[in-house]
């Protein structure tokens, strides 16, 4: 069992609270450092979490502003790491690093720093819900002999309690890359204008107009399946769950087309999580930590550059999400 504490940078935010709560439930004896700009807020969360300590972090400072003698067992960036001080800190300590806050157009710095200092496992997990969507799509594609297209759709309920940091991230990435990455005929394309919009079928059968989003899931699925046509679209609306009197849920829809057993085939898969986006992201992050630290008894991975689908097989990841409350069809 991990003995040095796991540092959750941004742990007192919306996603951070959900991640730490899930981590504490699954690993009640694992020590935690809750890093935040507001030490009072982080301290209140640490007190309610148990076996946790609040620390003030500064993203602009080496070692995130932490004392030189502070030991950590992993660094989990639940906020953007613009100066890469979190990654350097993890590399200096030789411990795993996970980030969920970088955009596709921003990761060149992470790639270069890892190439120069391959000292520990580095996980780029800025996928939709930190891996939930890519694993749902990978599972759907498994039975195909050849995959021709993968269309992913994500619905965020318009009453979802998405935190301010998450909203800032979305706005930042949209401003930095107003065009959206997709694959068409095996080539990378940047969608603009009318091409950005696509009709999405929700879990309850509604047809809503979504907008293309440059998600890590697109490049991960290209590498994994070789599909020549892949895109990811996002829509904000009333979730199917809330329309039926339930909670504000987050939904993921996947449509896969290709050849299966010599015949043209189509497969649709869906995932619904009625605790919302922050909770689903938190559940996925905890699964990544489980694999990185060997918390369930498996052998931790060696130093390397990873994405969520390289740490788990789809069946195991989705099974764990179902146990956490997801409904997968």
Please tell me the distance from the alpha carbon of residue 188 to that of residue 174, in angstroms, as a whole number.
Answer: 18
268 & 309 share domain: no
Q: Positive or negative CA dihedral for 268, 308, 165, 247?
A: positive
In a domain, 56, yes or no: yes
Nearest-Å Rg of the Cα atoms of the chain is 19
166 & 197 share domain: yes
135 & 272 share domain: yes
In a domain, 322, yes or no: no
Residue for token pair 């990378």: 188
Percent of all residues in the chain with a pLDDT value above 70, rounded to a whole number? 95
Enclosing domain of residue 66? 6-128+279-315
Centroid of chain to Cα 273: 14
Q: What is the mean pLDDT of residues 201-217?
A: 96
Q: What is the mean pLDDT of residues 105-132?
A: 96
272 & 136 share domain: yes
**pLDDT at position 3:** 81
77 & 90 share domain: yes
47 & 146 share domain: no
Indicate if the pLDDT at residue 316 is higher than 80.
Answer: yes
Please say which residue of 229, 247, 276 terminates a domain: 276
Question: Using one digit for the tens of pLDDT, what is the confidence trace for 17-74?
Answer: 999 999 999 999 999 999 999 999 999 999 999 999 999 999 999 999 999 999 999 9
pTM of the model: 0.95
Indicate if the pLDDT at residue 284 is higher than 90.
Answer: yes
In a domain, 1, yes or no: no
Indicate if the pLDDT at residue 321 is higher than 80.
Answer: yes
Query: What average pLDDT is seen over the chain?
Result: 94
Indicate if the pLDDT at residue 128 is higher than 70.
Answer: yes
In a domain, 323, yes or no: no
In a domain, 289, yes or no: yes
40 & 140 share domain: no
CATH number at residue 91: 3.40.50.720
142 & 194 share domain: yes
**pLDDT at position 161:** 76
In a domain, 100, yes or no: yes
Question: Using one digit for the tens of pLDDT, what is the confidence trace for 59-85?
Answer: 999 999 999 999 999 999 999 999 999
259 & 150 share domain: yes
Please tell me the distance from the alpha carbon of residue 6 to that of residue 3, in angstroms, as a whole number.
Answer: 9
114 & 229 share domain: no
- Res. 141 pLDDT band, cuts 50 70 90: very high
Number of domains making up the chain: 2
100 & 136 share domain: no
Q: What is the mean pLDDT of residues 91-95?
A: 97
Strands (E), 27-145: 32-36, 52-56, 74-77, 97-99, 121-124
195 & 223 share domain: yes
**pLDDT at position 105:** 86
Question: Using one digit for the tens of pLDDT, what is the confidence trace for 142-183?
Answer: 999 999 999 999 999 999 977 455 556 666 565 656 789 999
Question: Using one digit for the tens of pLDDT, what is the confidence trace for 234-266?
Answer: 999 999 999 999 999 999 999 999 999 999 999
């Amino acid at each position: 069992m991990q003995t040095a504490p796991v540092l959750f940078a941004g742990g007192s935010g919306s996603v951070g609270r959900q991640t730490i709560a899930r981590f504490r439930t699954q690993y009640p004896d694992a020590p935690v450092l809750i890093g935040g700009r507001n030490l009072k807020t982080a301290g209140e969360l640490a007190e309610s979490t148990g076996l946790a300590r609040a620390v003030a972090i500064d993203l602009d400072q080496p070692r995130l502003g932490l004392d030189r003698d502070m030991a950590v067992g992993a660094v989990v960036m639940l906020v953007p790491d613009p100066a890469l001080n979190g990654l350097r800190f993890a590399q200096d300590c030789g411990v795993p690093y996970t980030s969920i806050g970088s955009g596709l157009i921003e990761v060149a710095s992470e790639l270069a720093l890892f190439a120069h200092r391959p000292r520990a496992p580095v996980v780029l997990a800025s996928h939709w819900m930190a891996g939930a969507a890519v694993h749902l799509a990978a599972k759907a594609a498994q039975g195909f002999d050849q995959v021709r297209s993968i269309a992913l759709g994500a619905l965020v309920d318009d009453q979802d309690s998405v935190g301010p940091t998450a909203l800032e991230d979305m706005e930042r990435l949209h401003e930095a890359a107003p065009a959206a990455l997709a694959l068409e005929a095996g080539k990378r394309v940047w969608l603009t204008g009318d091409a950005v919009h696509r009709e999405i079928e929700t879990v309850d059968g509604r047809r809503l107009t979504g907008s293309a989003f440059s998600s890590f899931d697109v490049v991960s699925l290209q590498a994994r399946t070789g599909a020549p046509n892949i895109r990811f679209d996002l829509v904000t609306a009333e979730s199917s769950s809330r329309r039926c009197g339930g909670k504000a849920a987050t939904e993921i829809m996947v449509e896969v087309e290709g050849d299966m057993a010599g015949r043209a085939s189509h497969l649709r898969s869906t995932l619904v999580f009625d605790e919302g986006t922050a909770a689903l992201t938190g559940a996925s992050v905890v699964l990544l930590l489980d694999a990185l630290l060997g918390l369930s008894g498996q052998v931790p991975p060696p130093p390397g550059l990873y994405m969520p689908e390289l740490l788990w097989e789809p069946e195991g990841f989705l099974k764990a999400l179902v146990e956490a409350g997801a409904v997968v069809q």
